[in-house]
Copies of this chain bind each other. A is one copy, B any other.
Amino acid sequence: MDKFQQYVNANKERFIAELQDACRQPSVAAQNWGMREMAEKVLARLQQLGANARLIPVGDGAPVVYGEIGEGERTLVIYDHYDVQPPEPLELWESGPWDAAIRDGKLFARGVADNKGNLMCRIHAIESYIAAFGALPLKIKFVVEGEEEIGSIHLPQFVKENRALIEGADGCLWEAGYKDVNDRPVISCGVKGIVYVELHARGARRDLHSAQAAIVVNPAWRLVWALATLKDADDNILIDDFNKHVRAPTAAEMDALKTIPYDEEKVKAELGIQAFIRNLSGIELLKKYLYEPTCTICGLYAGYIGEGSKTVLPNHAFAKIDFRLVPNLTPDLVVDLLKKHLARRGFDDIEIKLTETGEEVARSPLDSAIVQAAIQAARQVYRQEPIVYPTMAGSGPMYPLCQALGIPAVSAGVGWHDSRSHAPNENIRLADYFEGIEFVRVLIERFAQT
């Protein structure tokens, strides 16, 4: 056990307590809940680490916590976010989402996997590095935003206004990663784009007795009819002209899928499903997973949804929908296509509300130094070959923060296959957390040497 590991071991209890403390502060961007408090907590922790840190305001958004620490030839951006998803549905949590309870070696809290665990893990790795070896071998620039879960609304503006802080960096360690169903570490080199919309249908001035439904329009039906034109039961997106903007994967992109071992049976068993969509498997499954766009109903509401029956004709219905984007779909394009598609079918009474500005697709070259450093670090720490995803199926502001500035990025982190990000009982395993600290340390060392 070297000095680094000795320091980590000696501070284990405190590290866990600090992680719990970070998780106990609600910071739900969608509900504007606790954002300022959490930003200040992160700022204080970075300052305590020795970083030259400050809150950088961006428009009327949640501030970015920015911090620099270390010196060296290489500069590494560390991107994380201090906001989390809404904790609902609360009744499905076994312990409260802000309790940060520990059971069976796991820490349960909203945001612990996505993304407070990774943020704290990186802080703890750097603290331990400095304590063990005196100084960092490179310069690190923390960019910790507060709006990732609502589409990083202000991050492009932040980059625009603070471009000098970021440009010229050599690589970026992106926010998250996990171990797959066979406990193999997964690192990813890109993100899908995303655009999130609400569709609102409205009827009479107020809810009515459902007897009136014989003659008064029902917005819940109008919403259903409109939605049913967007995607068919075989999961084909039917929006006019949508698919002709989807660039087919290149041969090299398809080849990259062949290196991914995806244990379909284990995944299905864990999720409790009989089959994947269209009964896909093998390369075709991975292709749809990583290289195809989605159109997902994330929320649906109309009328009475409580216990028992209420015979009501609702006057309002809405759906929340996210689209995950692949090249060459962009957020603006998708909203425009959607609007035209609905109007053409007489659904122009349905209001399209944009809750976010959307995010572009981004991918980093597999042979870039940061990706290679992550692969080497994973091999050394986890003692096995990591699984490299050319892109994750999820999204993030990798385009404006990295790709647009020519900075390659790699995503890796302390989650596991049952971390339940965005869902009740979100958790990480504490053993993964401490392995993650070692991984960050080796990644820093390797990247500094490139």
Contact = CB atoms under 8 A, between A and B. Distances in A.
Interface of A: 29-31, 85-86, 88-89, 92, 114, 149-151, 192, 194, 196, 203-218, 220-225, 227-228, 231-233, 235, 270-273, 276-277, 280, 285, 288-290, 292, 294, 296-314, 317-320, 322, 324, 346, 355-356, 392-395, 420-425
A393 to B, nearest CB: 4
In this complex, the member of A151, A212, A289 whose beta carbon has the largest number of chain B beta carbons within 10 angstroms is A212
11 contacts: A31-B306, A86-B307, A88-B304, A151-B309, A204-B271, A204-B272, A211-B324, A227-B228, A296-B313, A297-B302, A298-B313
B206 A424 contact: yes
Contact of A309 (B92, B196, B420): B196
Listed from nearest, the 10 A-B pairs whose CB atoms lie closest are A30-B308, A205-B272, A228-B228, A211-B393, A220-B297, A211-B394, A300-B302, A213-B296, A207-B423, A299-B303
Nearest to A229: B228
A325 to B, nearest CB: 12
A204 B276 CA distance: 10
Given A194-B311, A300-B303, A311-B194, A276 B216 contact: yes
B296 A31 contact: no
B304 A309 contact: no
Nearest to A89: B207
A249 to B, nearest CB: 14
Nearest to A206: B423
Contacts of A29: 308
